[in-house]
Amino acid sequence: MNAERNGTQVRPPADFIRRRIAADVAAGRNAGRVVTRFPPEPNGYLHIGHAKSICLNFGIAREFNGVCHLRMDDTNPITEEQEYIAAIKRDVKWLGYDWGQRFHHASDYFEQMYNYAETLIQRGLAYVCELSPEEWKEYRGVPERPGRESPYRNRPPQENLRLFRRMRAGEFPDGAMVLRAKIDMASPNLHLRDPVLYRIIHSPHPHTGDRWCIYPTYDFAHPIEDSIEGITHSLCTLEFEVHRPLYDWILDQLQIHHPAQIEFARLNLSYTIMSKRRLQELVEGGYVKGWDDPRMPTIAGLRRRGYTPEAIRAFAERVGITKVESMSDIALLEHCIRDDLNRRAPRRLAVLEPLRLVIDNYPEDAVEEFSAVNNPEDHSAGTRPVPFSRELFIERNDFRLDPPKKFHRLAPGREVRLRYACIVRCTDVVRDPKSGDVTEIHCTFDPASRGGSAPDGRRIRGTIHWVSARHAVPIEVRLYDRLFTRPDPLDVEDGKTFLDYLNPDSLRTITAYAEPSLRNTVPPTVYQFERLGYFCADPDSSPERPVFNRTATLRDSWARLEKQAAR
């Protein structure tokens, strides 16, 4: 399709939107220019669904040598906040995109929108209507039958103009009247049955102050915003498909630059929710600690959890762009972060549930250092020393009194390799006399196995991780699980709400023990704790108490559980 640019091969357009844009460019439409936009309403933090739209709009601009605008769709005066605007900018930048000088507010165009509304009135294409909201709904009717015309529909343009100006001047209370387009009350598309263009809202606006008491509807404002900014392709989610005839009608009647609206399926993700309104409920209800709680599907939450922009962009590419509503599996997102971190995350040793291991034939006060590989996927990352001494912590579940078949880790009488260090044999076990729980295990080590392998070549099947008890740094570890217990939390049973499906175990906080190099970690560094998963330093960390969020387990433990259950 579109071949080479700057000598580099451009990948063939992958989805129907890119194919369409490539065709437009090839046909010389818009003089071959591509201008897209990402237009969030600043009424909450961006979520992973928005990331899909950001990657699409900014990605297309990049691929087609175009530009992408970042526009605050702030036509609703009531819900917007500066905090959200700052968060939106931070998140788009962090994802790796740049809007340059093209940061806009829809509210900057209020005067122009108002003038366009007057134009429609003067041409007899809009009228001031005094039906109450209930009457308006009833007159509009249902798709199968034509609606009824408002008794105000045939007011002369001059009278409409006078009334509209008085609406602007603040002479009427909220809801007293609206401005409606005069289109077709018999259209099977309800959005064309004289839709509302302006309503009275006596409320100051965060950006325009108290300059306005009438505000345009989304349907009227959006095509005009796109047109003013010279957008060529206005990409939006499928629910706007039925609004497209109205988008086109407004621009056709005003005879101004006419972007093409193209719809694609929104991202839905299992075990979470994608609606800002509901996410806000979680924040305000105290169900999570904030918009950036690492359990949230927000970009800020994913960042704090340890997700990388690369992983999120890879995810957006993997889910692709289609016209069919579907639910993406959160396991795919988790796969993308594992894939990325496997390549980059430095390895460290940490023990989440410690069991004390004493090496009886190791001198009391001796300390030695073993050299541990920082990243087997990246040899340039080098090695680091880890201290070793007589008393260690190992993972409690790496020891079994009665090992089942195929358990190759530590058990009475058995040998195991301590990663990077040596081979030990379990000789004795100390148990709590009351509970019978193992509280300590005793081992001997084979001095000839320093470095990890047996000199006589005997086979050691298990390798476990450890930390030196006296050198270990206690760290707080926050273990996260899915936020909801069912794939679609909005698919609720009678009398329930999505809040009833919150996972009560979505956060478990423990004290773990880490090798000393983790003492001074700065967020957002992500490590792989060997054999355990990926863990990211949290901003709550202090030098006295490092805090880590579990970004992801090493493997998809849910898939494993589901497999086991199916057996």
Q: How far is the CB of 39 from ligand ATP (least distance, A)?
A: 6
Decide whether 322 or 361 has the Cβ nearer to ligand ATP: 322
Q: How far is the CB of 41 from Mg ion (least distance, A)?
A: 5
Write b or e for each residue in 43-70: b if 16 or more Cβ atoms lie within 10 A of its Cβ, otherwise e.
Answer: bbbbbbbbbbbbbbbbbbbebbebbbbb
Decide whether 161 or 490 has the Cβ nearer to ligand ATP: 490
Decide whether 53 or 150 has the Cβ nearer to ligand ATP: 53
Q: How far is the CB of 292 from Mg ion (least distance, A)?
A: 20
415 is catalytic: no
Question: Position of tokens 């309503």?
Answer: 199
Beta-carbon neighbour count of residue 3 at 10 Å?
7
CA 44 to chain centre: 13
Q: How far is the CB of 53 from ligand ATP (least distance, A)?
A: 4
> Measured between alpha carbons, how far is 222 from 230 in angstroms, rounded to an integer?
12
Of 180, 182, 276, 295, which is the active-site residue? 276
Closest residue to Mg ion, judged by C-beta, is: 41
Of 148, 266, 278, 450, which is the active-site residue? 266
Among the residue ranges 41-49, 61-69, 305-313, 481-489, the one whose residues contact Mg ion (CB under 5 A)? 41-49
Among the residue ranges 20-28, 36-44, 285-293, 450-458, the one whose residues contact Mg ion (CB under 5 A)? 36-44
Decide whether 88 or 441 has the Cβ nearer to ligand ATP: 88
Selection from ligand ATP, Mg ion, none that 274 binds (CB < 5 to 8 A by kind) is ligand ATP
* Burial (CB count within 10 angstroms: exposed 0-12, middle 13-18, buried 19+), residue 216: buried
Decide whether 63 or 225 has the Cβ nearer to Mg ion: 225
Q: Phi/psi of residue 29, each to 5°?
A: -65, 145
Q: How far is the CB of 107 from Mg ion (least distance, A)?
A: 16
Residues in the chain: 567
HEC string for 227-282: HHCCCCEEEEEHHHHHHHHHHHHHHHHHCCCCCEEEEECCCCECCCCCCHHHHHHH
266 is catalytic: yes
> Measured between alpha carbons, how far is 306 from 328 in angstroms, rounded to an integer?
21
Give, in order, the Cα–Cα distances in Å from 407 to each of 42, 95, 417, 556, 562: 54, 43, 14, 20, 21
Q: How far is the CB of 565 from ligand ATP (least distance, A)?
A: 30
Decide whether 324 or 566 has the Cβ nearer to ligand ATP: 324
Decide whether 275 or 326 has the Cβ nearer to ligand ATP: 275
The residues, any chain, with a CB within 8 Å of residue 286's CB and separated by 6 or more, are none
The residues, any chain, with a CB within 8 Å of residue 368's CB and separated by 6 or more, are 387, 388, 389
Q: How far is the CB of 276 from Mg ion (least distance, A)?
A: 7
Q: Is 278 in the site for Mg ion (CB under 5 A)?
A: no
Element (H, E) at 64: none
Selection from ligand ATP, Mg ion, none that 292 binds (CB < 5 to 8 A by kind) is none
Among the residue ranges 40-48, 160-168, 330-338, 393-401, the one whose residues contact Mg ion (CB under 5 A)? 40-48
Selection from Mg ion, ligand ATP, none that 203 binds (CB < 5 to 8 A by kind) is none
Q: How far is the CB of 524 from ligand ATP (least distance, A)?
A: 25
Edge-first strand order for the sheet with 350-351 is: 347-348, 526-529, 533-537, 547-553, 473-480, 507-514, 350-351
Decide whether 41 or 135 has the Cβ nearer to Mg ion: 41
> Measured between alpha carbons, how far is 513 from 515 in angstroms, rounded to an integer?
7
Pairing of strands 547-553, 473-480: parallel
State the residues that interact with ligand ATP by CB under 6 A. 39-41, 49-50, 52-53, 73, 236-237, 266-267, 274-276
> Measured between alpha carbons, how far is 147 from 143 in angstroms, rounded to an integer?
8
User: 3-class SS at 100?
Assistant: coil
Q: Is 41 in the site for Mg ion (CB under 5 A)?
A: yes
563 is catalytic: no
Of 41, 130, 317, 476, which is the active-site residue? 41
Selection from ligand ATP, Mg ion, none that 417 binds (CB < 5 to 8 A by kind) is none
Q: Is 274 in the site for Mg ion (CB under 5 A)?
A: no
Binding residues with Mg ion: total (CB under 5 A)? 1
Hey, which residues are catalytic here?
Answer: 41, 266, 276
Which residues sit at the interface with Mg ion, rule CB under 5 A? 41
